[in-house]
């Protein structure tokens, strides 16, 4: 159940404000009795909720009287305070991340061969999105079969968003697919291509019959190889991520002549 404490008030502050709503204008002593906030704390509590702009005081009266601000106004003020606090924390965390990004160095030996694998559609997308997000220079994607990656209404949306973010980082993205694959794509793909990907100067999509397998090359240092389901070839079963500059270079060498002979994609 929602409580004023959820918006930042202490137990005593919440009690005092609720009691003021019931009593109307009242003194600190009377409020202490009604709210069961100890007299030794009541003035600190009133000063605190007055700083929140939840109460108004009548300083001309003796003794001083207090009245609660209307609940709708009070809650709006508490909400704005929380939003402001969260925005400040968000900025602080972003500054911390920026600083750490500039200072943290990877201890991973970049030339050492390393591989990992992901099993299941969502896990495959997690791995692919992670590797696209790590790209600094170029992403090459080759597709020979329809997969969820092209379905804008599925988890493949994350892959498309990762590609757009890579383009915004000035990463070159090249997508090569079989011509027959274009006809099998959902109409939403054409819309995304025209509105989100195609306008980027670093994005290029072409088609070629000389395409087999589905894989992604990242920065010419690693390859994400999609493994089809053994019983349903159009479904993704797993993905292998192999970080090996020599192997990635061989795959890129096989890709380049096919890319040069491919036709630009048109919808």
- Number of other residues whose CB lies within 10 A of the CB of residue 147: 20
pLDDT at 147: 54
- What is the chain's pLDDT, residue by residue, as a tens digit (267 residues)? 788 898 999 999 999 999 999 998 999 999 999 999 999 999 999 999 999 999 998 877 788 899 999 999 999 999 999 999 999 999 999 989 888 877 776 555 556 788 898 888 788 888 899 999 999 999 999 887 655 444 434 445 677 788 889 999 999 999 898 877 766 665 665 666 667 777 888 898 888 888 878 899 999 999 999 887 776 655 668 899 999 999 999 999 999 999 998 888 765
Helix (H/G/I), strand (E/B), else coil: 69: coil
User: What are the residues facing 226 on neighbouring strands?
Assistant: 239
Within this chain, domains 1-107 and 115-264 share the same CATH topology: no
Please enumerate in sequence order all residues whose Cβ is within 8 A of that of 241, keeping only pairs 6 or more positions apart, or say none: 115, 116, 117, 118, 127, 131, 222, 223, 224, 225
Q: What is the model's pLDDT at position 107? A: 56
The CATH number of the structural domain formed by 115-264 is 3.30.870.10
Provide the pLDDT for residue 172. 93
Please tell me what DSSP assigns to residue 195: I
Bond from prior residue into 80 cis (ω within 30 degrees of 0) = no
pLDDT of residue 212: 79
pLDDT at 104: 79
Domain limits of the chain?
1-107, 115-264
Torsion angles phi and psi, residue 69, rounded to 5: -70, 150
User: Would you call 99 helix, strand, or coil by DSSP?
Assistant: helix
254 vs 248: CA distance, rounded Å = 10
* Structural contact between residues 172 and 138, judged by C-beta atoms closer than 8 angstroms: yes
Helix, strand counts (H, E) of the chain: 9, 11
1-107, CATH topology level: Arc Repressor Mutant, subunit A (1.10.10)
- Give the tokens for residue 57: 């005081």
């Amino acid at each position: 159940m929602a409580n004023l404490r959820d918006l930042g008030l202490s137990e005593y502050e919440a009690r005092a404000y609720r009691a003021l709503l019931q009593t109307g204008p009242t003194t600190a002593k009377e409020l202490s009795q009604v709210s069961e906030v100890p007299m030794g704390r009541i003035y600190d509590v009133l000063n605190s909720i007055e700083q929140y702009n939840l109460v108004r005081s009548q300083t001309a009266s003796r003794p001083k009287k207090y009245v609660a601000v209307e609940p709708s106004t009070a809650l709006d003020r508490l909400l704005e305070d929380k939003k402001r606090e969260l925005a400040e924390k968000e900025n602080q965390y972003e500054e911390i991340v920026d600083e750490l990004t500039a200072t943290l160095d990877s201890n991973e030996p970049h030339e050492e061969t390393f591989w990992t694998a992901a099993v299941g559609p969502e896990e495959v997308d997690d791995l692919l999105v992670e590797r696209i997000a790590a790209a600094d220079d170029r992403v090459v994607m080759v597709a020979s079969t329809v997969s969820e990656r092209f379905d804008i209404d599925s988890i493949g949306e994350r892959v498309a968003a990762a590609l757009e973010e890579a383009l915004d980082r000035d990463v070159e993205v090249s997508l090569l697919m079989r011509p027959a694959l274009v006809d099998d794509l959902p109409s939403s793909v054409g819309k995304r291509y025209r509105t989100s990907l195609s306008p980027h100067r670093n994005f290029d999509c072409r088609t070629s019959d000389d395409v087999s397998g589905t894989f992604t090359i990242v920065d010419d240092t690693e390859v994400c190889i999609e493994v089809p389901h053994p019983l349903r070839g159009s479904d993704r079963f797993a993905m292998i991520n192999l970080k090996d500059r020599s192997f990635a270079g061989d795959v890129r060498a096989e890709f380049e002549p096919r890319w040069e002979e491919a036709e630009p994609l048109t919808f």
